[in-house]
Structure 1
């Protein structure tokens, strides 16, 4: 929540930005306030508080406080260090516990932000699509590959190219009923954005996974966005919370799709399991 505000406060309407800046300056205090009290403290209006929640794609002020609380817990565990997992003053057990709590917070916050109507819309697009392409670069490719594996087992016609040129050539042949699913935590990965723009030229639907930015190249190109609630330090050893939280979005989609036609899902899972069963040693 804090990072979402920091990334977007300068592009919000002034009445909303005023409240956003007050929240950033007084995060601990906000979680105890009502909408009316926050509006008064920020010298703004209750309507502006509600508009701010909508602009940040948060389902109301209570949801904002839940996400803000999770951020405060995560920041407390980090002890203000860029690399809390490398804190020389902490034991390995303490560092591991802090890492675990950070992951749990990212997962819970991401799940909290997934909206049922988004899954329903995406499920309709998936059912109508003749082809679905998933694409991401570096750590985001790991997320795309994980979702590819799940959708394949559910019987969808999906592809997950590792080569950028193959991704472009595939999308160049897409039709308006087809779907492109793109992953970029920054929302600004050049290769991902180029695939998104080509998909739009072809009339295909574009779905994205990224951190929340009101204005990012991927957000501007996408028809539907799912947002990851994870904070990665820069520089960092490697993507961790963002990758796992992004996978949770894919898991939520797969879970929703699997339960639309349980009997069909069961047959697909049994058939795909049987196909590889003979290659197990035990």
Structure 2
């Protein structure tokens, strides 16, 4: 969860709000400010700033400032011409909305790619390859995207099991084995049931891949590898989850594609064979869709 998102969800005192608002207003300008200077400009005290830092999960001002500056630099890249939370206005024409949504999709893809680190992706794919079963945990729209990933992987003969976290996560302790892996998707990274499931898996030495937002959150602590979602949207104040949902889909598509490429010819043969056997009623009327054309 980003610092901005945390500030949306936690209770702050009046003086702490003054510090937070000043930082959000000045952004990169606080880079050379000492804690005493920040306290002076906000008419507060160093103690207030330290309490704010600890409330946000940091041990002090310097560690908070470091992550805040990195987050601000990230926010200032991409999405310069469109608001991820409100990408269109109430008076926009349908053509304008179409154009803006297309631009949002392009920017989301570029932003997601910029967050993708080669070694992390390589490690994640290796974990998927080695696992007997991939157990996927997510909720809401992320779960729907996970089900698409499940279908794709199943068509390669790789079993993906969807983990329920509706009160049944404790039973997963008996179903997940150390030869498997756990793939967890959460934008906030603060869903208690998923954290509880991650703890269970970690105690059994089950490798964990976490797909989550930029910044610190509880779920990240349990990941053997973390892949970051484009983190531009507020938790609640937005038209829809266009950015994070498209970012998650792209990450899952990349994981699938990289897994596919590990044994390209075998994967292609399996995909075609399994699809033919399981989709016998499908037909196409358009020439471009017909097999063998």
> What is the TM-score normalised by the length of structure 2?
0.69
Shift in alpha-carbon separation, 1:99–1:23, aligned structure 2, 3 A? farther
Range that drifts further, 141-150 or 226-235: 226-235
User: What residue in structure 1 maps to residue 4 of structure 2?
Assistant: 6
Determine the structure 1 residue equivalent to 2:79: 71
Aligned-partner Cα distance in 1 for 2:197–2:175: 12
Task: State how far apart, in whole Å, the 1-side matches of 2:214 and 2:76 are.
Answer: 14
Measured after TM superposition, the shift of residue 228 of structure 1 is 0.7
Structure 1 residue 178: Cα displacement: 1.7
Change (3 A) 1:66 1:241: closer
Shift of 1:83: 3.8
User: Structure 1 unaligned runs (5+)?
Assistant: 10-20, 31-37, 59-63
Q: How does 1:198-217 map to 2 (within 5 A)?
A: 198-214=200-216, 216-217=217-218
- Native 8 Å contact 2:210 2:225 kept in 1: yes
CA 1:166–1:270: 2 relative to 1, 3 Å? farther
| Residue in structure 2 matching 1:124, options 119, 123, 126 | 126
* 1:190-201 matched pairs, under 5 angstroms: 190-201=192-203
Aligned to 1:183, the other structure's residue is in SS state strand
Tell me, what secondary structure is at the counterpart of 2:76?
A: helix
Separation in 2 of the partners of 1:22 and 1:268?
Answer: 57
More helix by share: 1
Aligned to 2:99: 97
TM-score by length of 1: 0.72
Q: Compute the RMSD of aligned alpha carbons.
A: 3.4
Q: Secondary structure at the match of 1:70?
A: coil
| Corresponding position of 2:52 | none
1:258–1:52: structure 2 CA closer, same or farther, 3 Å change rule?
farther
Question: Which residue of structure 1 aligns with residue 279 of structure 2?
Answer: 277
**Structure 1 residues 243-266: Cα deviation after superposition (integer angstroms, max 9, x where no partner):** 111111111111111111112111
Partner of 1:35: none
Is the contact made by 1:206 and 1:224 (CA closer than 8 Å) also made in structure 2? yes
